[in-house]
Amino acid sequence: MKLDKTLYPWADALEEGMTVGETPGYATGDYLDLFEERIFPAIDEKVGDLRYYVYDPTKHGMPADRIYPVIFSLHGAGNALAGKLAVNYSGMELFASPAYQQRMGGAYIVCPLANEYRAEDGSSAGTWMTPKADSDLSEYSEALRTFAKKNIQGRLRRMLGAESIYTETLMALLNHVRAGFSSAGKTLLTGSSAGGYGAWRLLNAAPDRFDAALLMAPAYLPSEKLLDRLQERNIPVLLCHGLHDELVPFDLTVRPHLDRYAAMANVQTFLPKLVLNRDGSVASNISGIQMGQHCINNAIQNDLMLADGTPMWAELPQGITGWIRVAVGERNLIIRKATAEDVHQIAEIIVEDWQKAYQGIIDQDLLDAMSIEMQYGKEIKRYHDYVVAVDGQKVLGYAWHQMLNEEAADCEVVALYTRYACRKMGIGRRLLLHAMDTFRAAGKKKMIIWCLKDNTEARRFYEKMGGVEGQSGSHQWGNKAYELVSYLYDL
């Protein structure tokens, strides 16, 4: 496929057999009637009254006696000019659908609209990026401040740190709507493009007010100090940004922190080479200018799923709805001592994880010979030292704790597994933190975990969680000895 690079600036990234599509793969407007329009009276004359839309799950079939997270979502620049359609443009309309609500376990959705208008030059004014004052870059690295000084355009400077005039009003609105919900739980902050800028600024202003953040092509580069605060609080952050974003440069707003994000256990980054539509075509959207790769919120609204059910991102096999359920629906996730009734599910988890995650690491004949029945016979004899992470009756993961009296470490997590489909959803992190708390309560000082040397994914996880590589070893499975590496944690 040969494309005009002036219209398709990412044409060179297309691979053989790829097609380009203008349709994201879902209908617009089907669920907008489920959102109620409301007005938040002005608390700041520079902002004025704020219109916003609310979806209440208890009014649309979800039980009224449960607690539901609140999704607080900020749209992109110019979207407010479309009125209620801004709910769709923020990436949130389909999350009010019965299917998505069921997958998430229910959620309130709040979508405020910026007081936008068309400037004389035709651009969108009054966006979430409207600065309160000149940019303050004092928290940024010297290299970034130097870059900002060279790029004197107001828009670029605002992207690098100016406070938004909307921050105080948005925080007051959030407090107001939460107080009006009968069963408000945790708060998920989401933002797309200019809304991503607004979301980062809210996190900067009040990180303790949010329990998780979903950022879609945010027009902002956070400071190192803000990342420190989010890491200290273990706030889950999912950052989604296309490598060929046409409007918000990846190299400016993401690349400077790539190494930092990779080292943060609370941060996941979905950074597709090419953003796709639901049918697998490459996303294109020429609305005066090309912005198909910028509109990653369309992929989010497709739940990061292709039409055939294949995840767009292997690390989130249950899509965005699954991530949300764990990130802010953790009220459903309980960690407790394992019982005999849990053992069959534990065996299922072990067998599936080994057969999928250890391909190419463990001898294939050994993996093929594994069975749930055989594994059950092993686990029923030792489950008394296990804890399980459960959602209702479903076991989503387990950990095996063991007390030691050795010089190198006085306690050990012998095994830690989550269901393969639930990886990257925070369950392993919860289990590991629970183990640390349990050992601390028992007066233990140093914890050890062993894993296969070639299991790079597990090793990255243990390193992100603060583990320091320790001694090496080996273990015999079948007729072969496999190299192991240990990680140590000061408790």
Provide the pLDDT for residue 142: 57
Annotate 420-444 with DSSP letters as a single string: GGGTTSSHHHHHHHHHHHHHHHTT-
Q: What percent of the chain has pLDDT above 90?
A: 72
Nearest Cα to 321, choosing from 190, 197, 417?
190
Least confident of 109-123, 156-170, 199-213, 305-319: 156-170
Nearest Cα to 74, choosing from 170, 159, 163, 165?
170
Query: Sheet holding 184-192: strands in order across?
Result: 36-40, 50-55, 108-112, 68-74, 184-192, 212-216, 237-240, 267-270
Annotate 317-342 with DSSP letters as a single string: TTHHHHHHHHHT-GGGEEEEE--GGG
Please check the confidence at residue 433 and state whether its pLDDT lies above 50.
yes
Provide the pLDDT for residue 149: 59
Segment 6-33 mean pLDDT: 93
Separation of alpha carbons 53 and 265, rounded Å? 33
Which of residues 49 and 118 earns the better pLDDT score? 49
User: CA neighbours within 13 Å on the CB side: how many for 206?
Assistant: 15
CATH ID of 11-328, from 3.40.50.300, 3.40.50.1820, 3.40.50.2000, 3.40.190.10: 3.40.50.1820
| Inter-CA distances, 349 with 316, 372, 386, 416, 419, Å | 17, 9, 13, 10, 5
Q: Tell me the pLDDT of the chain averaged across its residues.
A: 90
* CATH number corresponding to 333-490: 3.40.630.30
Strands 50-55 and 36-40: antiparallel
Provide the pLDDT for residue 265: 85
Annotate 166-180 with DSSP letters as a single string: THHHHHHHHHHHHHH
Judged by DSSP in three states, 187 sits in strand
Q: Where are the domains of the chain?
A: 11-328, 333-490
Strands 237-240 and 212-216: parallel
Provide the pLDDT for residue 407: 85
Separation of alpha carbons 472 and 227, rounded Å? 33
Nearest Cα to 286, choosing from 275, 298, 295, 277?
295
Separation of alpha carbons 356 and 123, rounded Å? 50
User: CA neighbours within 13 Å on the CB side: how many for 43?
Assistant: 12
Segment 280-290 mean pLDDT: 90
Please check the confidence at residue 337 and state whether its pLDDT lies above 50.
yes
Q: How confident is the model at residue 65 (pLDDT cuts 50, 70, 90)?
A: confident
Judged by DSSP in three states, 250 sits in helix
Domain 11-328 identical in fold to domain 333-490: no
Annotate 356-416 with DSSP letters as a single string: HHTBTTB-HHHHHH--HHHHHHHHTTTGGGEEEEEETTEEEEEEEEEE---SS-SEEEEEE
Torsion over CA: 141, 232, 416, 354 (sign): negative
Judged by DSSP in three states, 472 sits in strand
Please check the confidence at residue 152 and state whether its pLDDT lies above 60.
no
Phi and psi based region of residue 305 (left: phi greater than 0; alpha: psi -120 to 50; beta: remaining): beta
Q: What percent of the chain has pLDDT above 70?
A: 93
Neighbours of 152 (CB within 10 A): 8
Query: What burial class does residue 82 get, using C-beta atoms within 10 Å of its C-beta: 0-12 exposed, 13-18 middle, 19+ buried?
Result: middle
Please check the confidence at residue 119 and state whether its pLDDT lies above 70.
yes
Please check the confidence at residue 257 and state whether its pLDDT lies above 80.
yes
Given a contact cutoff of 8 angstroms between Cβ atoms, the answer to whether 398 and 386 are in contact is yes
The DSSP secondary-structure symbol of 81 reads G
Which of residues 289 and 355 earns the better pLDDT score? 355
Segment 263-289 mean pLDDT: 93
Please check the confidence at residue 339 and state whether its pLDDT lies above 70.
yes
Nearest Cα to 216, choosing from 195, 235, 230?
195
